[in-house]
Chain A
């Protein structure tokens, strides 16, 4: 962490030495039970995904058998992965990952580059651009998707990866988040780089980027979660399996007369695993990212 105060940091509560007594044990047990009840749906999902019989899944749901699988099987995952008929899940997952990586990498780069110019550049009209961006931030995605669909159709991007990547890479919110971080960087750092004769891009790339890891991680996580969970837009813009993401793929299980619960469970677990891995690896940053998305107000 640099000396620049990051709004996302959670200060630990002041802790006084507390006598080790029973009330603490009871508190931990009580909170553990509450936590287990709250996350039990996720546990049920994991258990159910290991049961190959979809009628068994439903029958078990109403009893404690929902929490237990006697003969775990990866059959559902194999089915979902190789299902070459209506729903090619391997393809959907791959599509989602491609969209995720390009959007996040491109988004972090483009947004931070723009934020740097807005914060430290000498281009005239920066204040106007910044104000316009902040005003645009209020526009909800839901209210632009239909005209966006006509634009995407007109330029021939319908049913493509580009249609799911380009509209969401650059974002007023993320430019603003990074901008707020950049303007707190001490003037000396910028001046020192200018004296060395470095151009704006060099200063951005080799001076500002390396010290902005916390805010860049925040943007990457928020943009990543947002991209991974997109639903309304890909539902409208993808007509075939070519670029369809896993969220829309899973939802299409519900279109069938009888829901294939076993496959739906396995596919859902597959959709959760990448997020879970990142969450376990970067838990601190995940939680603090969500707070800094809150300071925008």
Chain B
């Protein structure tokens, strides 16, 4: 049936079309307005604020344009470089631990194991646990001197390795945060790997088996190369997550001991919220944005290259 065949249809349809557009605009507007006010506007104004000496609570004196002074101050601040280095250190440690464990569990769950779905549900539980709750639990696990980690250490070393003040010792605070963070977040990478593993055609394994490849060879020559895209995706996502490290630090270590767990976001939070130096903090926020942007662009290029 064609509406155009109806004589009055033309005008009526044009009217409906116009009404339709008004309705469409009304449907699109709420979401766009919220995004404009609460995402685009703060994002754009951070570039403006970063060039001023604006304070969080306005002073009687209006904020002054200071050019690139904030960036200069940050880049010449030893503490900022320590924070950046800490985040890099955290990333380098958390990547193998978190992604390696996620891949191992995904490989186990991808076999013909009975109750696979039950196990998948259990292994995914930490991923839905709030980081605040994780901090409460792990703070007790890391207790000095008689927490579970220290007891296990003592048993394994026959009492030779002394109790470690996990969160209070500059050498161990960051590794402790790495363990806790990897435990909380590996579930996501596990699920992504599981999806990647299920995308590998069974025929590849059958062919490898015919060629006499053992289980180990099949893993290195079939599974790992087939997961290339998944690896890239997982590494990028985990890196971006790692660069935003904050909650654990804020709750458990406050950047200490002796600045060994200070991070970029914690540095920004301290500068902008605690010390009220909004201009300086906005400059840090912009640097963080560009770090995330560059990491994401690297992913785009690497993925596009191989396609």
Contacts and interface: CB of A to CB of B under 8 A. Distances in A.
Interface string A14-38: 1110100000100110011011001
B23 A14 contact: no
Interface stretch (B77-85, B90-98, B141-149, B209-217): B141-149
A225 B46 CA distance: 27
A13 B132 contact: no
Contacts of B140: 44, 48, 57-58, 61, 261
B120 to A, nearest CB: 7
Contact of B293 (A34, A110, A138): A138
A235 interface: yes
Contacts of B135: 251, 254
A35 B119 contact: yes
A83 interface: no
Interface stretch (B169-177, B218-226, B280-288): B280-288
Given A114-B28, A149-B56, A28 B120 contact: no
Interface string A162-174: 0000111111100
Given A62-B147, A290-B188, A113 B289 contact: no
A110 B31 contact: yes
Contacts of B303: 297
Nearest to B289: A143
Dominant secondary structure at the A interface: helix
B191 A229 contact: no
Contact of A232 (B138, B183, B265, B293): B265
Contacts of A15: 112
A279 B128 contact: yes
A146 B112 contact: no
Contacts of A38: 122-123, 126, 183
Contacts of A236: 269, 273
A286 interface: yes
Given A138-B293, A142-B265, A143-B289, A13 B110 contact: yes
Contact of A136 (B39, B119, B292): B39
A39 B122 contact: yes
A13 B117 CA distance: 12
Interface string A182-198: 00000000000001010
Interface string A111-126: 1011011100111000
Interface in B83-125: 105, 108, 110-115, 119-125
A266 B56 CA distance: 36
A264 B108 CA distance: 35
B53 interface: no
A113 B25 CA distance: 10
A161 interface: no
User: Which one of B191, B194, B278 has the greatest number of beta carbons of chain A within 10 Å?
Assistant: B191
A31 B108 contact: yes
Contacts of A253: 136
Interface in B164-212: 183, 187-188, 191-192, 194-195, 198, 202
Given A10-B194, A41-B137, A144-B43, A201 B23 contact: yes
B150 A146 contact: no
Contact of A271 (B34, B130, B288): B130
Contact of B191 (A28, A264, A291): A291
Interface residues of B, number: 102
Contacts of A275: 128-130
B288 to A, nearest CB: 5
B20 A286 contact: no
Interface string B249-260: 011100000000
Given A201-B23, A251-B250, A147 B45 contact: yes
A222 to B, nearest CB: 11
Contacts of A251: 132, 135, 250-251
A146 B34 contact: no
Given A62-B146, A143-B46, A110 B136 contact: no
Contacts of B112: 13, 15-16, 18
Contact of A166 (B21, B34, B289): B34
Contacts of B60: none
B35 interface: yes
Given A170-B34, A229-B131, A251-B132, A195 B137 contact: no
Contacts of B265: 142, 232
B22 to A, nearest CB: 9
B19 interface: yes
Contacts of B131: 229, 231
User: Which one of A133, A147, A250 has the greatest number of beta carbons of chain B within 10 Å?
Assistant: A147
10 contacts: A10-B195, A34-B105, A61-B146, A117-B24, A143-B289, A146-B282, A167-B34, A199-B16, A254-B252, A275-B128
Interface of A: 10-11, 13-16, 18, 24, 27-28, 31-32, 34-35, 38-39, 41-42, 44-45, 48, 57-59, 61-63, 66, 110-111, 113-114, 116-118, 121-123, 129, 133, 136, 138-140, 142-151, 166-172, 175, 195, 197, 199-201, 204, 225, 228-229, 231-232, 235-236, 247, 250-251, 253-254, 259, 261, 264-265, 268, 271-272, 275-276, 279, 283, 286-287, 290-291, 294, 297
Which A-B residue pairs are the 5 nearest by beta carbons? A167-B38, A114-B31, A147-B42, A62-B146, A143-B285
Given A44-B137, A142-B268, A297-B236, 8 more contacts: A66-B148, A142-B288, A195-B1, A229-B132, A290-B127, A291-B192, A294-B188, A297-B303
